[in-house]
Amino acid sequence: MRKIYLLPFVAIFAACGGSHEGHEGHDHGHHDHETQEAHEAHAHEGHEAHEHEAHEHGAAKANGEIVLHKEIADQFGVVIDTVASGDFSSTVRAAGVVVTASSADAVVSAPTAGIVRFAPGMEPGRSVGRGTAIATVDASNVSGGDANIAAKAALEAAKTEYERIEALYKDRLATIGERNAALAAYNAAQAAYSPAAATGRAVSPIAGTVTSLVVRQGQYVNAGDLIATVASPGEQTVRIDLPQRYYSQAPSFSDATLILPYDGGTVRLSEYGGKRISGTPVASQGTAAYVPVFFSAGNTPGLVAGTTFAAYLLGAPRHDVVSVPVTAISEQQGDYFVYEQLDDECYAKRRVDIGATDGLRTEIKSGIAPGTKIVGKGVTTVRLAETGSNIPEGHTHNH
C-alpha cells in the first residue's frame, strides 16, 4: 500500500502574489553580499533563503491568507465552486421510513402445522426468486403426528375405493348412487391432502426482497400461519412524518432529499423518478404529533423496506436566494465559515450567516456574494493549511 504523507504542507507557506519582486530584491542583495564576502557565500546563501521564506510566511499569516499549493489541493480533493443565486425551496426537516405498496407485498405461509426451520442464510434484506424456499415446516415431532400423513393415507384409500366402485358400475354391479358416493369421498380426500404440506416447504410466491421473518427458528406454527413477508423490487414507497405544526404547508411539499443512514449520503427523490403520491394528508384529530406524507421511491438507490432516515421535505421555491453546497460550510465554535479562493494557491476564511438547508445546499444570508469562488469540497484540507496542523515534526521553518 502506498503511503501518503502531508510533508508537502511544509511548502504551503509561500506568499500569495507579488513574491517574484521580493525574490528579485533578495537575489540583488545576495549578489552584492557575494561580491563583498565571496568566501562566506555558501554559508550565508542557505541561511538567507531560509529567513526569506520565513519572512514571506509571516507576511501571508499577517494578511490572514491561507496558502495551499495547487498540487496539494488537487491531491486531497479540493474542489472550487462559484457562489450563485437562484431558486431555493422552503424546507422542513423530518424523519421517514421506507415502506412498500400493499400490491407489492407477498406473504409466505406455513403449508402445515409443525416446527419452523429457516433456510440457511435466510434473513431480512435477502433477495429471493419466485419459488425460493424460505423455510421448511417439520410435523414429524408434533404431538398427534403429521395430519397430512393421515390425509394422504385417507386419499389413497378413497382413490382405491372409487376405482373399485367405478369398475363395478361399468359392469352394472354397482348403482349410480354408490358410484357418486365413492367419487365424493375421493374428492374430499384430495381436498384434505396438500402436496405442498407433504414437502413442508414454505416458498416465496414472488421474486423480491425478504422484509421480515415473523416467527423464530424452531417455533411451532399452525397450517396457514404467516412465516415471512417479501416485497417486490422497485415498488418501495417513502413515508415522511411531517410535524403537525407544519400541516398547513403539507400541500406544497413536492419533493424530498433523503439522508441515507449507512453513509450519510444524500439523494433527491425526483432525480430517480420519485414523486409525491398523496394529496393533502388528513390532520390528526387526536394528539398525534405527525402527519404522514407519501412519495414513490422510483429507482432511488440504497433503499430497503424498513429503512429509517432523516429527510428534508421541499416546498414552494423562493427566487434569487444565494446558496452554497453543504460541503462548503465549516462550523467552528458555533460560527459558520466558507473559504474564498483568492488565486490558485491562496485562500481566505469568510464568516457567513446561514439560513435554511435542503440537504444538498445551504442558504447564505450574508457574508459572501454571488460570483465569489469558494472551496466547495475539501474544506478540511484548507483548514489544515490554515492551522498548520499535521506538519511532520522536524520539517518546520524554525531552526
Most confident option among 161-165, 347-351, 388-392:
347-351
Q: Across the strands, what pairs with 353?
A: 366
Q: What is the spatial distance between Cα 134 and Cα 9, in angstroms, rounded to a whole number?
A: 57
Q: Under DSSP, is residue 376 helix (H, G, I), strand (E, B) or coil?
A: strand
Residue 46: is its pLDDT beyond 50?
no
pLDDT in tens, 121-178: 888 778 888 899 999 988 766 555 555 566 667 778 888 888 888 888 888 888 888 8
Lowest mean pLDDT across 210-219, 277-286, 381-390: 277-286
Per-residue pLDDT, averaged over 288-301, amounts to 81
Number of other CB atoms surrounding residue 160 within 10 Å: 12
Residue 321: is its pLDDT beyond 80?
yes
Residue 382's pLDDT is 92
DSSP string, 282-323: PPPSSS-SEEEEEEE-TT-TT--TT-EEEEEEEEEEEEEEEE
DSSP string, 67-86: E--HHHHHHTT-EEEE-EEE
Instruction: Give, in order, the Cα–Cα distances in Å from 85 to each of 319, 364, 371.
Output: 8, 9, 9
Q: Which three cell numbers stand for residue 306?
A: 424498513
Q: Under DSSP, is residue 311 helix (H, G, I), strand (E, B) or coil?
A: strand
Residue 29's pLDDT is 46
Residue 302's pLDDT is 74
Q: What is the spatial distance between Cα 91 and Cα 93, in angstroms, rounded to a whole number?
A: 7
Name the band, by pLDDT with cuts 50, 70 and 90, for residue 44: very low
Q: What is the spatial distance between Cα 262 and Cα 250, in angstroms, rounded to a whole number?
A: 28
> Please, are residues 82 and 372 in contact by the beta-carbon 8 Å criterion?
yes
Q: What is the spatial distance between Cα 337 and Cα 358, in angstroms, rounded to a whole number?
A: 18
Residue 398: is its pLDDT beyond 90?
no
Instruction: Give, in order, the Cα–Cα distances in Å from 175 to each of 184, 185, 187, 302.
Output: 15, 16, 19, 69
Residue 330's pLDDT is 93
Name the band, by pLDDT with cuts 50, 70 and 90, for residue 33: very low
Lowest mean pLDDT across 41-55, 143-157, 226-240, 280-294: 41-55
pLDDT in tens, 350-382: 999 998 888 888 999 999 999 999 999 999 999
> Please, are residues 378 and 68 in contact by the beta-carbon 8 Å criterion?
no
Number of other CB atoms surrounding residue 130 within 10 Å: 12
Q: What is the spatial distance between Cα 182 and Cα 188, in angstroms, rounded to a whole number?
A: 10
Residue 248's pLDDT is 83
DSSP string, 112-155: SSEEEEEPTT--TT-EE-TT-EEEEEE-TTSTT--HHHHHHHHH
Per-residue pLDDT, averaged over 179-187, amounts to 86
Residue 263's pLDDT is 75
Q: Which residues of 81-105 are buried (b: 16+ CB within 10 A; e: fewer)?
A: bebeeeebbebbebebbbbbeeebb
Handedness of CA 250, 256, 257, 258 (dihedral sign): positive
Which amino acid is it at 31? H
Residue 300: is its pLDDT beyond 60?
yes
Please return the burial class of 57, using the count of CB atoms within 10 Å of its CB with bins 0-12, 13-18 and 19+: middle
* Length, in residues, of the chain: 399
- Specify the CATH class of 79-99+235-377 in words: mainly beta
**Which H helix or E strand runs over 375?**
strand 373-377
Instruction: Give, in order, the Cα–Cα distances in Å from 34 to each of 26, 43, 100, 269.
Output: 12, 11, 82, 70
Only one residue has cell 403520491, namely 277
Sequence spans of domains, the chain: 7-69, 79-99+235-377, 102-231
Name the band, by pLDDT with cuts 50, 70 and 90, for residue 235: low
For domain 102-231, give the fold. Answer: OB fold (Dihydrolipoamide Acetyltransferase, E2P) (2.40.50)
Per-residue pLDDT, averaged over 181-187, amounts to 86
Which amino acid is it at 210? V
**Average model confidence (pLDDT) across the chain:** 76
Q: Under DSSP, is residue 166 helix (H, G, I), strand (E, B) or coil?
A: helix
> Please, are residues 283 and 244 in contact by the beta-carbon 8 Å criterion?
yes
Q: Sheet containing 208-213: which strands, arranged edge to edge?
A: 105-109, 226-231, 208-213, 127-128
Per-residue pLDDT, averaged over 290-297, amounts to 85
Q: Which three cell numbers stand for residue 81?
A: 465552486
Residue 118's pLDDT is 94
Per-residue pLDDT, averaged over 241-248, amounts to 87
Residue 349's pLDDT is 93
- pTM reported for the whole predicted model: 0.45
Per-residue pLDDT, averaged over 185-200, amounts to 70
Residue 283's pLDDT is 52
